[in-house]
Each structure stands twice: as structure tokens, then as C-alpha cells.
Structure 1
């Protein structure tokens, strides 16, 4: 991409100086110079960006930013928001970059920018530096179970489910499968955490398989897996098609956990800092819009459109509104576990949360135990850009976190993650597969 193409038609320095001279000579010129510097410093380097998304309701801020004109409002008039078929495709297109037919940024599983930046999940382990500009949401994912286990009414407690899975494995001689969307990604970590908390070893007792989100329901229908973790609308669609039910929403595992991020290639951000911030402002404004309960029905309608998720509104609207029918007789209206787009600092990318994701990736052997997590987070997490964007948007000071840490986090099974001591957290976990240093 030519960083000078689509440059905003701003008056040049010489023109501004002539105007200043016309207004009254040297004194006026001196008075105007600071504003000239500001004007030049805030000019957009490009109006173009190519952003990827997966067909999930936590990509709604990107859909809304496009549909409601927020990208254009912030000067980004040439933004393409392009559907990706899987998280693997998202990764591959980020590695390519838009100059080579790929993308500049994406709605993405929060650990992925780190896995891509380290080269842990790229071809030949070649790193592609990435930057997280903001978080897109908190919570809103679910773990679903096949109707084969309907009588168990599986929930947070999976001990009976564990017995049934192990018995099935012995009976059939075949592996029992838990599906997630990307190795080391959020869905992988949620299902592993839940299984391990119930003393199911997700590496030995079951097999974790990768299935793209939009293919989850079809795969469970033909018996490819016994349980899966994904975002909406696929959990609700599973119930509507009478194939399975919801065991839990992931905020029941960890209240208001971080989930997807808005991330971009580092070279795009470095070459186009003002344009990257403009994109983020558009996304943040869309998040505020999505959070408003008065807009939730329209959020669901927008998500349902063919160019976005392409699913019936009936599969989307309840959970976007925060209403959960688990398909087991358990029904919660306006659930406290619903997805958050803006409330509770949903958009702010706490560095402490990135540290948890890195620690869990070390737990399962995706990343080496001797990784310098502090240095990596300092490169990837650009909460400084988020804070600048928030101030320019007029976000109230009380809604802009003053710390890069949300503090100590507590999980449903009593485990505690203190960002100041990740090793203590790792040591407290019975089931783990640390790589040799």
C-alpha cells in the first residue's frame, strides 16, 4: 500500500504561512505555528485499510463501524472489512499483508497476535510483528455439548461428563473430541481450562480438534465432536437445530474475561500511526453503540446479514440481548454473563490479561517457559494508542483505566492469577504440559 495515496487534501505549510502573513505578519505567524504543527502531526497517512473478521457476534464492532459510517467519520474512507473462513486463514492473510493480497488487521483471538509475532504459529516459524490496539469484547463465548449427553445437563461441574467421555472412549475404541477454533487461541484455552478443572486431561483423556466457527454445528450434527467452544451464533443455532445444548457461558469460568482483540500488523501501525488510531476510534465508537441495550436488536439484525455472519436473526438476537436459554431448562434473562462490548472497560487492552494468555500458552506447551513475556507484551500491546484514542473521542476520564493491570483474577474453581506472580499461578495448576526450556 502506498502510504501517500489517499492523503487528505490539507493545506500545505506554505499556504498556511501565507494565510498567517495575510492576517498580520510575524506575530500572527508565530501564534499560528503551534496549530500548524498539530494539524500536520494529526494528518492521516492513508485512508485505506483491509481488515479481516470471522463470522461471530464479537466482530459486531467492525460490522457496525462499516455499516454506520464510523470508519468514514474518522477519515478512513477506503476500509474493506473482509470475511475470513477460519482463524488459520486470518493468520495467513495477516502474514501476507495487504500489499501481497492479504490484510492489514483483524478481529482476532487475543493470543494470536502474540503467537504470530513470535512465529509460533507461522510458516517456518517466521515472526510477523503484530500490535493489539484494543479489546473488542469481554465474555460471550460458550461451551456446548451434544444431545447424546442431554440427561447429564452438563454445566460448570463436568465430573459426570468426564465419566461419560472416558466410558465412550473405552466402549468405541475411538477418541472423544472437543472442538475449538485455533491452537492456543481463546476457545482452546477455555475448553482446556474447564476440562482440566474437572480432572480431564485435555491432552491425554480427550482429543482437541480444530474446526472453524461456522462449521461447528454441522460437524456436531454428524458426530465429529462431543463438545465444542465457540462464540455466537453457533451455540444458539445448535439448540435451535436440536443437536446439542449450552453447558456454560465462558464468563462463568472467569467473570468478564478478555476475549477478542482488534489487532494490526506492526508495520501498518508504524507507517500510519494516525490512520491506525483513526481506525481504532471508529471501532471504539462502534463498541459504545453496540453496548447500548436500545441498539442490541439492530446489532443482531446487522450481524445476520449475508455479508457478515449470514445466519437467521433467530439464532443471534437472544444472546446479543443477553438472554440465555441453555437448552436444558435453565433460562436467564439479561444475564450478568452476557458479552460486553464497552461496559466494564471491555475495550481497554489490559496488559495483565495478555500475560494470562501467554502464561496459559506456556501451560499447554504452545510457547516456551523461558519466554520474556514482559518484553513481548511491551511490543505487542499498544494501550498507549487506546488511551490517546479515548481522549480524542471524549471518553470520560473515569472510563480510562490508569493501570495496565486489572489486578488479581479469580476463576470458578478457586484458582487465582496474580499478574505480579504468574509462576505461582502456573505452579498451582495440576494438569499442564510445559515445554523444555
Structure 2
């Protein structure tokens, strides 16, 4: 008899792995009945997971850490992430009006690398300040999210103070394009399809992608309460196996059209496959009337996309400290990262699938501009993707004091 697992998802392309596990029968083959629950916001996912209304969730990676540490004014609810749910997928979109102002202010910048587009925004902000205009407003999906940290990094790289030079707010992913259209915000950072939705409606332009800020960076994880995982080790392992098999299916190029059709269902993302397919095929149109661009935005399995790297959790915690959201020593951050990002649970669960895992669970971040092979446990190698960050920042996850700028 199958065991039912109630799993919350937010309408984004990167909810694909649990959706595929259910729709393609991988969960059933592992003895699980996935009850997928569509949630509108990350706050709802957090609260329902904390109170046991959900057994598991498609969860923001930083939120798993924040819940465990009791950050953000909520009681601590220990969460573990026994696997990651892919890499990439975010973008930064601005209104068409702001895009035109950025082009006018610094056409040479806007013709250059996308990651540096905030330098044109800086010129607009300077002009607004001189004219006494109000600050521009940007949104991310949740305070503890990769979106928040990517938006802050994009701004800071151009010398824009995220806390003083712009207003930063929070909006649910599916409301971003509408909020931009209504003029409530001037730009946002969100996962797909909500950047491409703004482009399709003619109200926004994608000026940077996650790959321009930190390629192959962590995004979502499978989040379960720590006590739930401890009480149900076999169920947790079966869930990881089902999701890893789903990730392998979703990552195959030949399956992307079928994946777009599945996600288009109103139970999941609920937008036209015409928007989903370009994002999943790696040929999205980022600007109205512009040609499609080659951009590998959604990686579900390649490059150890499902492995929960503790070093990436430490990087996320460092961004929380940088944003004033947490006060953690290097030792505390390392301990918290290892408590939440449970690569031991992942390795044990996927052993029967023959899935290789890295020998070392901590790597220096920001030093490679191409894929590379690293040793695997038990021999052989695994391939991980490029990780060269905007501004050529290098992060040593053995403590913040060791972090330095790359030369």
C-alpha cells in the first residue's frame, strides 16, 4: 500500500521535479502517493510546513536555513534538505519604461554583458536623485531567497546600495508581471515563467539572468521537517529516489516539450506552453521583438543539480549576514549548513540508483568559468558546472574571513 506524502509546490518552472515524480509514476514506483498542493506564496509554504499541514515542500533553499535558525521573527522549526531541486531559472526584469531610460542613460552598457546592466540603472538613479524624484522600487519573492541575494548582488556590483538607493519589497511570484504592469514596482527578480510572462505581455524586459550573476547557483530544495525525516527514514529515502529519477527525466532535452505540457496544467504553473517551452528549451526571448537567446536556464539533474552542497548553504548564510538578516559566526554558519543540507541522506538514498556523488561536500565557489570534473565517492569523477560569479567574487566556505576578491 502506498504512503501518502503531501508536498507543497509554488507555480514556477522549477516545481517540475515533484510534478514529474507524480505525473510520470516515479513516486508510485517508490511506494509513494504524492499529494501535490499548489501554494500561492512562500510564506504559505513556510507556515504549512512548520505546522505539519504539509509533509514536504518545493522550498526556497535559504528559507530552509532561516526556518531552522528561527530567523525573520518566526519560531525555529528545524528543516532538512535531503536534496536540491535543480539549478538556475531566475531573472531580473524591469519595466519597459525603465529599460528605455537605462538604454538612453548608458547605451554602451546595455549593449554589453547582461550582468553589468545595473550600471545603466545607476545612471538613472543618479538622474532621479538630482531631480528629486522618488526612489525606484524592486521586488523579490521572499526575504530569505536566492532572488533577494541575486538582486542585491546585481545592484551592488554597479555601486548601488540595495538598502539606501532603491526600495526593496516582497511580492508572490505569480503577481510580479501584474505588479509591474500596474506600476507598483519598477523591476523584480523571480523564477520563470514570470519574467517571460512580462516580456510576452509587453510590459517588461529581462535585463539579467541568474547565469549572469552566479551560474549554476542553488535555487530550491526538497524541504521536510527534521523530526519528520527522523521518524520516516525509509519514506524520506524513497521520496529522494523518486525525485532524483524525475530530475533525470526532466533534464533530458527530448522530454522538454512534454514537460511544458505537464506544467501548463492549472494545478501546477498554469500558463501557456508557448511561454514555458522557450524557457525549457534554452531559447527564450528576453526582450520584445528581439531574437531568442541561447541560455541554459533550467538544469534539473546535470552538474550535480540534485546534490545538496553544504558549501552552497554556507554561501547563502553569508549573504544573509551581508544583508543584515542574521548574525552568525563562521563556525555557527558551517554547523547550520551541515544540519540542514543533508548530503548524507542524499548519498544513502541514491546509492541503489547508482547515482554518483562528489567525494568532497565543500568546494571553493567562484573560480571556474567552464564545467569541471571532481572526484566521486568510491572512485571515478562527477562533473559540476561553471560558477564564476558577477564581479569575479571568490568565496571560501570555510569561514567568511577567508573570502576574497578574485584577481
Q: Equivalents in 1 of 2:194, 2:99: separation in Å?
A: 18
Task: Name the residue aligned to 2:395.
Answer: 417
**From 49, 54, 60, the counterpart of 2:16:** 60
Instruction: Summarize deviations over 1:73-93 as a string: whole Å, max 9, x none.
Output: 10013x211011111111111
Following TM superposition, by how much is the alpha carbon of 1:122 offset from its aligned partner in structure 2, in angstroms? 4.9
1:329–1:256 CA distance, 2 compared to 1 (3 A): farther
User: Alignment partner for residue 301 of structure 1, among 258, 261, 284?
Assistant: 261
Cα contact 2:141–2:147 (8 A) shared by 1: yes
Q: Which residue of 2 aligns with 1:340?
A: 299
Counterpart position of 2:327: 368
Who is 1:73 aligned against?
Answer: 29
User: After the TM superposition, which residues 76-225 of structure 1 pair with which residues of structure 2 at under 5 Å, given as runs?
Assistant: 76-77=32-33, 79-97=34-52, 102-123=53-74, 126-151=75-100, 152-153=102-103, 154=110, 155-157=114-116, 158-168=118-128, 171=131, 173-225=133-185
- Pick from 364, 371, 386 the counterpart of residue 407 of structure 1: 364
Rounded to whole Å, the distance in 2 between the matches of 1:281 and 1:331 is 39
Query: Could you state the TM-score of these two structures normalised by the residue count of structure 1?
Result: 0.82
**By how many angstroms is 1:166 displaced?**
4.2
What is the match of residue 277 of structure 1?
A: 237
1:262 is aligned to 2:222: yes
What does the per-residue CA deviation read over 1:117-160, in whole Å, with 9 as the maximum and x for residues that have no partner? Answer: 1111353xx11010001111111111111101233355322212
Instruction: Give the length in aligned residue pairs.
Output: 373
User: Secondary structure at the residue paired with 1:66?
Assistant: helix
**Can you list the C-alpha shifts for 1:306-359, whole angstroms capped at 9, x where unaligned?**
100111111211011111222166645542x42100011111111110000000
Equivalent in the alignment of 1:390:
350
Structure 1 residue ranges, 4+ long, deviating more than 6 angstroms after superposition: none
- What residue in structure 2 maps to residue 5 of structure 1? none
- On the 8 A contact 2:200/2:288 being kept in 1, the answer is no
Rg bigger for which structure? Answer: 1
Deviations 1:345-387 (A, max 9, x none): 1111111100000000011111113370122122212111111
Counterpart CA distance in 1 for 2:289 and 2:209 is: 15
Q: Cα–Cα, structure 1 residues 331 and 350, in superposed 2: closer, same or farther, change >3 Å?
A: farther
Q: CA deviation at 1:184?
A: 2.4
**Distance (whole Å) between structure 1 residues aligned to residue 97 and residue 358 of structure 2:** 45
Structure 1: distance between partners of 2:251 and 2:169: 33
Using the alignment, how far apart are the partners of 1:338 and 1:143 within structure 2?
13
Contact 2:119 2:158 in 1 (8 A): yes
User: Structure 2 length as normaliser, TM-score?
Assistant: 0.87
The Cα of 1:267 is off from its aligned counterpart by: 1.1
| Aligned-pair CA distance for 1:185 | 1.0
Give the SS at the match of 1:366: coil
Query: How much does 1:225 deviate?
Result: 1.1
What are the ranges of 5 or more consecutive residues in structure 2 without an aligned counterpart? 104-109, 367-387
Distance in 2 separating the partners of 1:272 and 1:378: 20
d(CA) in 1 for partners of 2:292, 2:302: 20
Deviation at 1:239, TM superposition (A): 0.6
The residue number in structure 2 matching 1:48 is: 4
2:59 and 2:221 in contact (8 A); partners too: yes
Contact 1:356-1:422 within 8 A present in 2 as well? no
Give the deviation of 1:428 after TM superposition. 5.6
- Quote how far apart the aligned CAs of 1:172 are: 6.3
Native 8 Å contact 2:310 2:362 kept in 1: yes
**Mapped partners of 1:143, 1:387: distance in 2:** 34
